[in-house]
């Protein structure tokens, strides 16, 4: 991306803590029934199937759209991890606002920043800056994840393009001010026949455009899902983002950013749900004690905390990789989307078990939970099915065995330093294919070899399970080198799909181990303690298909203590504790 022409203009965006404070201030207290943006209001809007209007206005006042616009275009986007932090605060309060006000415009924007020319980027940035929405229309009901079958066409005719066909189940398509459309721009078969288009609504002839009725959903009920049909609707030829025919390439690049960050934003949903669960089990009295005192409850909740830390650690490494290792993230993005989405869904399901009937009630103090449980579901199928991510990883496996796993490079240690400095994001540097070169997986062996001395059960377990995953990568190398070439696309057997899960397991283990080791080196509080990392690797080593293993007592006790402390201080339940000012889920001092 060329930035030279505009660098001088925009002032530097406010710091992340300042932005989080400002956002917390506009969102107000979640527990206050009089707060028009509180939980009560959020739930009422959900019952009506509407977006929370007061919430949209507040986010507008905060300037949320600026978070999606690169700083060189006048926005606040310099670091994807900061964007994720801001969006998590929104998702914690209301996932419908997260997706329906925010993330869908962000996906659209990333397409424009990746492939658009200067004029298109400026137009999209100005539109978002003024509080407008851009809908992103890839999906057609007839083809789902099978993007290359897209039927929607934008074919050249007399110096213009003519739009023909339908896009369905699209967030905000009707009320957006502009659209990013994925269209066939050539009738030839193959991978050079698609393009993204950027069209402002004012450029679309009203008599050639028809909006389809709204789609009603189980979760994300407020999100305005609709469709659009065009009949020979003319569009200026200059509406194509990038050179015509490069659409698949643009999608594969920009989705690396959006798949990684969207799933990571959704961790805010589980963060909220865990808070609700803890409040409930601490208040609920049974058999002469609180539910939180029941060993089983404590064990499930602690296991969820551990899994959430592991998932967030991997999501954070994946997000940092977009800045640090853009040649490799074609792999990481698929792995993060695949793993983190399931970890979040599993966590929600386990918490619902602990809440008992309270998770099913649409009123009362835990009413928020049932909404969060419904709202999180698209994380597993929206913006790419988990299985599609596995299939994208498959053809990399033999290459990885031949290249990366033999070469054994270690990733730079900055990859494992959550919250710390990052080099600028370069949309143009994201490689289409990692070509079997990826250094996260092999970082584990190098990290283990350099493991600092330590004592105690957590330390011993961390070493033991670290070694387990190093051996796993060796076995994978043998299995993947022997993989039948016919097993490398959608028709692959369950065995081949399973190889991708095993590989992703190694990536997660490497992320946790190396993040611990880096923190230990720099003395970062919490992260330098081996308990969380040992617990992460221990749970990850559960044989696939089996319920996750209960943590050994020393790990569970230590993590329960950390969890209780986070609950007391309002630090949240993700990898980096939030500063106590940023707890829009409620005032921690209130619970007993």
Partner 1 sequence: MDDLTGTETTRTPGLRDWLVARIAEHLRMSPADVAADVPLSTYGLDSVYALTVAADIEDRLGVTVDPTVLWDNPTVDALCRAVDEAVAGAAAR
Ligand X SMILES: Cc1cc2nc3c(=O)[nH]c(=O)nc-3n(C[C@H](O)[C@H](O)[C@H](O)COP(=O)(O)OP(=O)(O)OC[C@H]3O[C@@H](n4cnc5c(N)ncnc54)[C@H](O)[C@@H]3O)c2cc1C
DSSP strand pairing (209-215 vs 134-137): unpaired
Reading the block at residue 450, the tokens are: 């350099």
Alpha-carbon distance of 183 to 180, in angstroms, equals 10
Closest contact distance (angstroms) between CB of 490 and partner 1 is 7
Residue 500 engages partner 1 in binding (rule: CB under 8 A): no
Tell me which of ligand X, partner 1, none is bound by residue 396, counting a contact when its beta carbon lies within the kind-specific cut-off of 5 to 8 angstroms: partner 1
286 in contact with partner 1 (CB under 8 A): no
| Choice between 383 and 582, CB closer to ligand X | 383
Q: Is 145 in the site for partner 1 (CB under 8 A)?
A: no
Q: Which region among 187-195, 210-218, 278-286, 312-320 touches partner 1 (by CB under 8 A)?
A: 187-195
Q: Is the dihedral of CA 58, 177, 42, 366 positive or negative?
A: negative
CB-based closest residue to ligand X: 144
Binds 433: which of ligand X, partner 1, none (CB < 5-8 Å by kind): partner 1
Length of the chain: 592
Reading phi first (left if > 0) and then psi (alpha if -120 to 50, else beta), residue 172 is in: left
CB of 468 to ligand X, least distance (A): 29
135 or 325: CB nearest partner 1: 325
- DSSP three-state, residue 266: coil
- Look-up of token digits 């999501």: 315
Coil/strand/helix, residue 559: helix
Q: For residues 589 and 569, what is the distance between their CA atoms, to the nearest angstrom?
A: 8
Asked if residue 188 binds partner 1 (CB under 8 A), the reply is: yes
Contacts of 97 (CB under 8 A, 6+ apart): 51, 52, 55, 56, 59, 90, 91, 222
Nearest 5°: CA angle at 193, between 178 and 336?
70
Question: Which CB atom, from 395 or from 577, has the smaller least distance to partner 1?
Answer: 395
139 binds, among ligand X, partner 1, none (CB under 5 to 8 A by kind): ligand X
Q: Which is nearer to ligand X, 286 or 490 (CB)?
A: 490
Report, in Å, the least distance between residue 510 CB and partner 1.
22
Q: Does 141 bind partner 1 (CB under 8 A)?
A: no
Instruction: Kindly state the smallest distance separating residue 583's Cβ from partner 1, in Å.
Output: 42
Three-class HEC string of 48-89: HCCCCHHHHHHHHHHCHHHHHCEHHHCCCECCHHHHHHHHHH
Pick 144 or 456: Cβ nearer ligand X:
144
Closer Cβ to partner 1, 489 or 522, answer by number = 489
Q: What, of partner 1, ligand X, none, does residue 395 touch, CB below 5 to 8 Å by kind? A: partner 1
Q: Which does 436 bind (CB under 5 to 8 A by kind): ligand X, partner 1, none?
A: partner 1
Structural contact between residues 337 and 263, judged by C-beta atoms closer than 8 angstroms: yes
Q: Looking at 186-194, 270-278, 506-514, 580-588, which segment touches partner 1 (CB under 8 A)?
A: 186-194
Displacement of CA 350 from its chain's centroid (Å): 20
> 191 contacts which partner out of partner 1, ligand X, none, CB within 5 to 8 A by kind?
partner 1
Q: 3-state DSSP call for residue 403?
A: coil
Q: Confirm or reject binding of residue 191 to partner 1 (CB under 8 A).
A: yes
Dist. CA 252–CA 154, nearest whole Å: 20
**Which burial class, exposed, middle or buried, applies to 365 when counting CB atoms under 10 A from its CB (0-12, 13-18, 19+)?**
middle
Binding mask 419-438 for partner 1 (x = CB under 8 A): ------------xxx-xx--
Query: According to the binding rule CB under 8 A, does residue 441 interact with partner 1?
Result: no
What is the C-alpha separation between 132 and 460, in angstroms, rounded? Answer: 54
Picking from 95, 98, 185, 178, the residue whose alpha carbon sits closest to that of residue 136 is 178
Which partner, partner 1, ligand X, none, binds residue 486 by CB below 5 to 8 Å per kind?
Answer: partner 1
Query: Which residue of 111, 239, 396, 439 would you call a contact of partner 1, by CB under 8 A?
Result: 396
Is residue 536 within the footprint of partner 1 (CB under 8 A)? no
Provide the greatest CA pair distance for the chain: 80
- For 542, the 3-state DSSP assignment is coil
Part in contact with partner 1 (CB under 8 A); list of ranges 19-27, 395-403, 418-426, 497-505? 395-403
Query: Where along the sequence are the contacts to partner 1 (CB under 8 A)?
Result: 148, 188-192, 248-249, 252, 391-392, 395-396, 399, 402-403, 431-433, 435-436, 485-486, 488-491
């Amino acid at each position: 991306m060329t930035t030279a022409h505009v660098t001088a203009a925009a002032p530097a965006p406010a710091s992340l803590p300042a932005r989080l404070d400002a956002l917390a201030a506009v969102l107000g207290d979640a527990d206050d029934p009089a707060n028009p943006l509180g939980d009560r209001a959020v739930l009422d809007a959900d019952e009506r199937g509407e977006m929370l209007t007061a919430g949209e206005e507040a986010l507008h006042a905060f300037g949320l759209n600026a978070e999606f616009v690169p700083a060189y275009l006048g926005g606040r986007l310099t670091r994807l991890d900061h964007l994720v932090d801001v969006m998590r605060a929104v998702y914690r309060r209301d996932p419908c606002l997260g997706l329906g006000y925010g993330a869908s415009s962000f996906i659209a924007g990333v397409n424009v920043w990746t492939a658009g020319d200067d004029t298109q980027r400026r137009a999209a940035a100005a539109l978002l800056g003024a509080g407008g929405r851009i809908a992103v229309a890839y999906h057609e009901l007839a083809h789902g994840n099978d993007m290359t079958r897209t039927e929607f066409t934008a074919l050249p005719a007399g110096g213009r393009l003519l739009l023909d066909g339908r896009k369905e189940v699209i967030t905000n398509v009707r009320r957006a001010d502009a659209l990013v459309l994925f269209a066939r721009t050539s009738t030839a078969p193959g991978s050079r026949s698609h393009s993204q288009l950027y069209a402002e609504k004012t450029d679309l002839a009203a008599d050639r455009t028809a909006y389809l009725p709204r789609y009603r959903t189980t979760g994300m009920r407020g999100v305005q899902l609709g469709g659009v049909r065009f009949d020979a609707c003319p569009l200026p030829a200059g509406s194509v983002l990038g050179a015509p025919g490069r659409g698949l390439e643009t999608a594969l690049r920009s989705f690396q950013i959006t798949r990684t960050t969207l799933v990571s934003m959704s961790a805010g949903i589980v963060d909220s749900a865990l808070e609700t669960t803890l409040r409930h089990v601490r208040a609920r009295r049974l058999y002469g004690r609180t539910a939180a005192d029941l060993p089983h409850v404590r064990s499930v909740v602690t296991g969820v905390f551990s899994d959430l830390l592991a998932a967030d650690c991997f999501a954070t490494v994946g997000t940092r990789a977009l800045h640090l290792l853009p040649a490799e993230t074609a792999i990481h993005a698929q792995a993060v989307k695949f793993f983190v989405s399931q970890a979040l869904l599993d966590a929600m399901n386990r918490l619902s078990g602990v809440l008992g009937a309270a998770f099913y009630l649409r009123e009362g103090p835990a009413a928020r939970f049932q909404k969060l449980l419904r709202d999180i579901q698209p994380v597993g199928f929206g913006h790419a099915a988990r299985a599609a991510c596995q299939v994208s990883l498959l053809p990399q496996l033999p290459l990885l065995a031949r290249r990366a796993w033999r070469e054994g490079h270690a990733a730079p240690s900055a990859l494992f330093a959550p919250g710390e400095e990052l080099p600028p994001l370069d949309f143009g540097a994201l490689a289409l294919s990692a070509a079997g070169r990826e250094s996260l997986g092999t970082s584990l062996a190098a990290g283990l070899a350099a493991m600092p001395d330590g004592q105690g059960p957590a330390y011993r377990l961390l070493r033991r399970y670290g070694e387990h995953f190093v051996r796993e990568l060796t076995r994978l190398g043998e299995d993947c080198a022997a993989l039948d070439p016919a097993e490398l696309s959608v028709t692959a057997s369950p065995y081949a799909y399973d190889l991708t899960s095993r590989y992703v397991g190694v990536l997660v283990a490497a992320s946790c181990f190396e993040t611990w080791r880096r923190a230990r080196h720099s003395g970062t509080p919490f992260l330098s303690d081996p308990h969380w990392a040992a617990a992460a690797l221990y749970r990850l080593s559960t044989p696939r298909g089996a319920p996750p293993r209960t943590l050994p007592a020393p790990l569970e006790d230590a993590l329960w203590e950390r969890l209780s402390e986070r609950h007391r201080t309002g630090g949240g339940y993700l990898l980096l504790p939030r500063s106590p000012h940023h707890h829009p889920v409620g005032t921690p001092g209130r619970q007993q």
